[in-house]
Amino acid sequence: MTTLTRRGFLGSLPAAAAATSLLGQQKRTGQPKIKITDLRCAIIGRNPVVRITTDQGISGYGQAESAKPYLKPMVLFYKNYLLGEDPTDVERIMLKIRRMGAFKPWGSAVSAIEIALWDIAGQAAGQPVYKLLGGKIRDRVRIYNGGYRPPMKGPTPQDYADNVQMMKEAKEGFTLIKMAVGFHNPAMMSAIPNMFYDERRQGPPHSDRGVMTERGLDYVVSCVQAMKKVLGNEIGLALDCGPGWMIKDAITFARACEPLRITWIEDILTGDYTPYPNAQLFRDLKQATSVPIHTGEEIYLRENFKDLIEMQAVDVIGPDPEDVGGIAELKWIAEYADIHGIAVAPHGIFDGLIGLAAHVHMAATLPQNYIAFECPFGQPEWWYDIVQGLPDPVIKKGYIDVWDTPGLGVTFNVAAAQRHLSDEDRGFFD
């Protein structure tokens, strides 16, 4: 019998109908359920890409951030937990493996597997993933720009103004732009002497932390003012600030931003690769300012959002589906945040094009506390040549239209993608 492939047909039926026919035939004849036969991981570009294969010829794909090319052994650790399982029983499998993840970056492997399972489940049912998550409540999803970054010409406030002017004029028509300031921007923190009362740390980024000087605070505020003057009230400006600020400096900075009507201040106290959320300090900050406070990209699983949400410690949460435990996990967290009056704006800058598809399906189903997700771009540019199924153009006037193809609705041009595989990963698509 001709079996359903990731891109193909069962006999002469289209793929969606073929998958539905396959499951119906199994139900009538009592044939064994679909089973997982392999879990693979390849580094394509810098993104770890997960492929789960099945005995019915359906494969599902997931992806982790391009900042994590070291993740492959962590993904493959879970292989024996998946083999022989029915991939459409997503929650049954997640109960087995999610207990062995952790805060960013170690939850990424679990998250990528979860996304690949939903991709298979959608194909097997002949339905887009958003249908399996409860159905969409919006036909297009708003994105925000954190990934398109024109080169900076210099460190002055005018240079930051010029930079966001280029983003404002970009063909994607962004309605919301996020900019790194303070400790999240090492170049900014090196622009003038004595920005804070400690020495700069060498090595990996985002390791600085300390008390800001008056001149340091004034400089950061001046850069924000220059950017907001360009964007006006046409385009929102969110600020990715840390982590690393002390609570008093964070309050001073937030209050200085209040007249500018900033969309949110993100990760100013903890966040990024900090393995704890520090809800009490965020609550102190939130109560001291009218500027919305945002955090959550590094947090793994709903249990670790519990204090932030139940203490109403922030105004906006930003879990990343490729770190938090997957798209269904993120939806659960968003629903719980909604009943506590907290908005959701998922993180996703490095999530890749498979990750982009997961974001779109997920965002289509999120409750009405949804603001926008951080749109990943294909990096390097050749990613757009090896992934098929995305709309063209992807972004229109700051939104992405939700598509209806079964599963995640995207797949690989295998011939093109194989040119970017290492020798170690040559069998990834076999």
Determine the pLDDT at residue 339: 98
Nearest C-alpha neighbor of 413 from the set 3, 7, 4:
7
Is residue 20's pLDDT more than 60?
no
- Classified by CATH at the fold level, domain 136-410 comes out as TIM Barrel (3.20.20)
Determine the pLDDT at residue 15: 38
Determine the pLDDT at residue 379: 93
| Average of per-residue pLDDT across 359-379 | 97
Is residue 1's pLDDT more than 80?
no
Q: Do 83 and 37 touch, CB atoms closer than 8 A?
A: yes
Taking the model in full, what pTM does it have? 0.92
Is residue 233's pLDDT more than 60?
yes
- Give all strands of the β-sheet with 236-240 in edge-to-edge order: 176-180, 236-240, 264-266, 293-295, 316-317, 343-344
**Between 54 and 19, where is the model more confident?**
54
Nearest C-alpha neighbor of 17 from the set 26, 4, 36:
4
Nearest C-alpha neighbor of 346 from the set 363, 332, 361:
363
- Classify 238 as helix, strand or coil: strand
Please state the domain extents for the chain: 15-131+416-425, 136-410
Taking the CA of residue 69 as centre, how many other CA atoms within 13 Å lie in the half-sphere pointing to its CB?
A: 5
Is residue 29's pLDDT more than 70?
no
Determine the pLDDT at residue 203: 79
Determine the pLDDT at residue 31: 54
Q: Which CATH superfamily is domain 15-131+416-425 in?
A: Enolase-like, N-terminal domain (3.30.390.10)
- Backbone dihedral angles phi then psi of residue 300, each to the nearest 5 degrees: -110, 125
Is residue 2's pLDDT more than 60?
no
Q: pLDDT class for 202, splitting at 50, 70, 90?
A: confident
Least confident range from 10-19, 69-78, 84-93, 342-351: namely 10-19
Is residue 60's pLDDT more than 90?
yes
Is residue 16's pLDDT more than 80?
no
**Fold match, 15-131+416-425 / 136-410:** no
